[in-house]
Amino acid sequence: MSQPAARPLILVTNDDGITAPGIRNLVESIADLGDVVVVAPNNHQSGMGHAITISNILKMWPHDFGMEGVRAYKTSGTPVDCVKLAIYKILDRTPDILLSGINHGSNSSINVIYSGTMGAAVEGALEGIPSVGFSLCDFAEDADFRGACRAVRTVTEKVLKEGTPKGTCLNVNIPKVAPEALKGLRISRQAAGHWADSFEERTAPGGRPYYWMTGNFTDVDSGEDTDEWALRHGYVSVVPVQYDLTAHHAMAELNQWHLGFDS
Amino acid sequence: MSQPAARPLILVTNDDGITAPGIRNLVESIADLGDVVVVAPNNHQSGMGHAITISNILKMWPHDFGMEGVRAYKTSGTPVDCVKLAIYKILDRTPDILLSGINHGSNSSINVIYSGTMGAAVEGALEGIPSVGFSLCDFAEDADFRGACRAVRTVTEKVLKEGTPKGTCLNVNIPKVAPEALKGLRISRQAAGHWADSFEERTAPGGRPYYWMTGNFTDVDSGEDTDEWALRHGYVSVVPVQYDLTAHHAMAELNQWHLGFDS
């Protein structure tokens, strides 16, 4: 039997770098579903949000991902740079799906805004590609990815069939529980949350101060329809994320201002 | 006569760096309205979006802004880092308003997503601070900021009085027209737009390739209520921007998927 004429083209990226266990687990979960091309950062790019490299050069190298049939490239850029390089430089057709992750650590609640993993997924959506970011709520290098891989497989199969709602990508977070304890997947909204940051001051050799940012996250949302609620209760959270940032509901209020010069 | 008990505390940042003409014009426009503290990047941080520095150290230095009564600091970080340093390290109370800019170049339409200027404003909103990003649609170092300064003054006075709608900050873009040709301010929504990128390949001494990202932006939105329409017609566009990225309207559609494991 011959291959189907159009085997799906699957673009994979992440923000923890091309050698992270998370991206390997992701590719292993879906490699049989299509032709996989990995374009991912050479180094850690956590916290890069939607950053792009416009005032500096980008470098790119072929990379041996160590899996048969998987083409891979590593770049000096951010996750969003990787998506742009893939679409406009590497690939000869638009991917059928973009998968980002599996991130080592949660991207639920407002963390979506700082997340390079989700920056890449949003960039895919801007290009009209059904796009999903996956994050496991476990920062450990040797985290157990089995539950996350199950979620990757389920969501990827569904999105290959259905696409994603217009103007959105999906933010999928997997709780840190044993894979058999996962209760299922829950469509959720982004919980309201807050980071209380602090800056630890240290002194460099030579006497000048420098700072490390640390912080504590608090879920300040009592809703039972949030991603944080889902994760706390053993569910995989699935949040549709949009790139139209307009607060449409606030426009009427602002129009009441009758903003004019010298008003 | 004594000062009013609580003179507004005005936090100012940008993404073009603390010595850019845009931030000086901004501060000059509003310095009499309160106590101004500038915390801005030491270097260009364009295109940094909502990036933060979590895998590296931050440096910070006092800076002589050259204006009486204006305290200033420059940092090695991104615009969002600057906001966090200001709130959690430098200031002893929460600012009454955060102003970011004036950016050299447009942040209308989907450019809001890549913008360090707007990253800082969104971060201010996350902290509950009425926050506004200002951008002039002119990349020139010697751009005419007079119209932009008028918009800064008008919007800042209004926001000091009214605050901003809950959960939002404002994205204010000023068209490149003579200040007297400005028609007014228009509450707008983010236009749908698309960047067609390309990567110019060059060869480093030694023979390895490297790339410069360039691109062409297209407004693909025919609406007359967009920021792009306002700017094309000589208006200052004012878009309320939210940090809840949930595509609430897409949740019903996703719930129809009945997402389950092995479904």
Q: How confident is the model at residue B5 (pLDDT cuts 50, 70, 90)?
A: low
Q: B51 to chain A: which residues are within 8 Å by CB?
A: 47-51, 78, 114
Do residue B49 and residue A119 have CB atoms under 8 angstroms apart? yes
Query: How confident is the model over A14-25, as a mean pLDDT?
Result: 97
Query: How confident is the model over B116-122, as a mean pLDDT?
Result: 98
Q: How confident is the model at residue B172 (pLDDT cuts 50, 70, 90)?
A: very high
pLDDT of residue A263: 47
Which of A12, A227, A33 is CA-nearest to residue A133? A12
Q: For tokens 């994050």, name the residue.
A: A135
**CA gap B48, B78 in Å, rounded:** 7
Structure confidence by residue, pLDDT tens digits, A176-223 = 999 999 999 999 999 999 999 999 999 999 999 999 999 999 999 999
Size (chain B), residues: 263
**Whether residue B261 has pLDDT greater than 90:** no
- Give the best residue of A127, A150, A259, A262 to mutate against chain B (max B CB count within 10 A): A259
What is the distance, to the nearest Å, from the Cα of residue B99 to the centroid of all Cα atoms in its chain? 8
Q: Which residues face B243 on adjacent strands?
A: none
Q: How confident is the model at residue B141 (pLDDT cuts 50, 70, 90)?
A: confident
Spatial neighbors of B148 by CB under 8 A, at least 6 apart, are B22, B25, B102, B134, B136, B174
The domain covering A9-191+222-255 belongs, at the CATH homologous superfamily level, to Survival protein SurE-like phosphatase/nucleotidase (3.40.1210.10)
**Whether residue B262 has pLDDT greater than 70:** no
Rounded to the nearest integer, the mean pLDDT of chain A is 95
How many angstroms away from the CA of B128 is the closest CA of chain A?
10
Is B218 an 8 Å CB contact of chain A?
Answer: no
Do residue B240 and residue A246 have CB atoms under 8 angstroms apart? yes
Q: How confident is the model at residue B260 (pLDDT cuts 50, 70, 90)?
A: confident
User: Which residue is closest to B167 within chain A, CA to CA?
Assistant: A247
**CA gap A131, A120 in Å, rounded:** 9
Query: How confident is the model over B170-194, as a mean pLDDT?
Result: 97
Residue boundaries of the structural domains of chain B: 9-191+224-255
Q: B80 to chain A: which residues are within 8 Å by CB?
A: 49, 114
Spatial neighbors of A88 by CB under 8 A, at least 6 apart, are B196, B197, B198, B199
Which of A40, A30, A37, A39 is CA-nearest to residue A9? A37
Rounded to the nearest integer, the mean pLDDT of chain B is 95
Which of A211, A169, A215 is CA-nearest to residue A50? A169
**Whether residue A36 has pLDDT greater than 90:** yes
Check: CB of residue A95 under 8 Å from CB of residue A9.
Answer: yes
How many percent of chain A have pLDDT more than 70? 97
pLDDT of residue B263: 47
Query: How confident is the model over A27-54, as a mean pLDDT?
Result: 96
**What percentage of chain A's residues is helix, strand, coil (to nearest 5)?**
30, 30, 40
Do residue A242 and residue B243 have CB atoms under 8 angstroms apart? no
**CA gap A92, A89 in Å, rounded:** 8
**CA gap A89, B196 in Å, rounded:** 12
User: Which residue is closest to A60 within chain B, CA to CA?
Assistant: B210
User: Which residue is closest to A81 within chain B, CA to CA?
Assistant: B213
Q: Is the pLDDT higher at A262 or at A111? A: A111
Q: Residues B156, B157, B163, B165: what is their CA dihedral angle, to the nearest 10 degrees?
A: -70
Q: Which residues face B156 on adjacent strands?
A: none
Is B220 an 8 Å CB contact of chain A?
Answer: no
**Whether residue A1 has pLDDT greater than 50:** no
Is A68 an 8 Å CB contact of chain B?
Answer: no
Structure confidence by residue, pLDDT tens digits, B77-91 = 999 999 999 999 999
Do residue A88 and residue B197 have CB atoms under 8 angstroms apart? yes
How many percent of chain A have pLDDT more than 90? 94
pLDDT of residue A173: 98
Check: CB of residue B116 under 8 Å from CB of residue B79.
Answer: yes
Report strand pairing: A193-203 vs A209-219. antiparallel
Domain B9-191+224-255 matching CATH 3.40.1210.10: the answer reads yes
User: Which residue is closest to B80 within chain A, CA to CA?
Assistant: A114
Note which residues in 6-65 of chain A have CB less than 8 A from chain B. Answer: 44, 46-55, 57-60
- Give the best residue of B43, B50, B122, B158 to mutate against chain A (max A CB count within 10 A): B50
Do residue A245 and residue B190 have CB atoms under 8 angstroms apart? yes
**Whether residue A3 has pLDDT greater than 70:** no
**CA gap A207, A216 in Å, rounded:** 29
Note which residues in 72-131 of chain B have CB less than 8 A from chain A. Answer: 78, 80-81, 84-85, 87-89, 110, 112-114, 119, 122, 126
CA-to-CA dists, residue A124 to A119, B184, B213, angstroms: 9, 36, 17
Check: CB of residue A44 under 8 Å from CB of residue A76.
Answer: no
pLDDT of residue A5: 53
Query: How confident is the model over A107-122, as a mean pLDDT?
Result: 98
Query: How confident is the model over B107-129, as a mean pLDDT?
Result: 98
How many angstroms away from the CA of A108 is the closest CA of chain B?
11
Check: CB of residue B107 under 8 Å from CB of residue B133.
Answer: yes
Query: How confident is the model over A101-123, as a mean pLDDT?
Result: 97
Query: How confident is the model over A121-141, as a mean pLDDT?
Result: 96
Size (chain A), residues: 263
Q: What is the model's pTM? A: 0.96
pLDDT of residue A154: 97
Query: How confident is the model over B202-208, as a mean pLDDT?
Result: 96
Interface A-B, measured as beta-carbon pairs within 8 A, has a size of 245
Check: CB of residue B214 under 8 Å from CB of residue B197.
Answer: yes
Do residue A112 and residue B198 have CB atoms under 8 angstroms apart? no
pLDDT of residue B1: 47
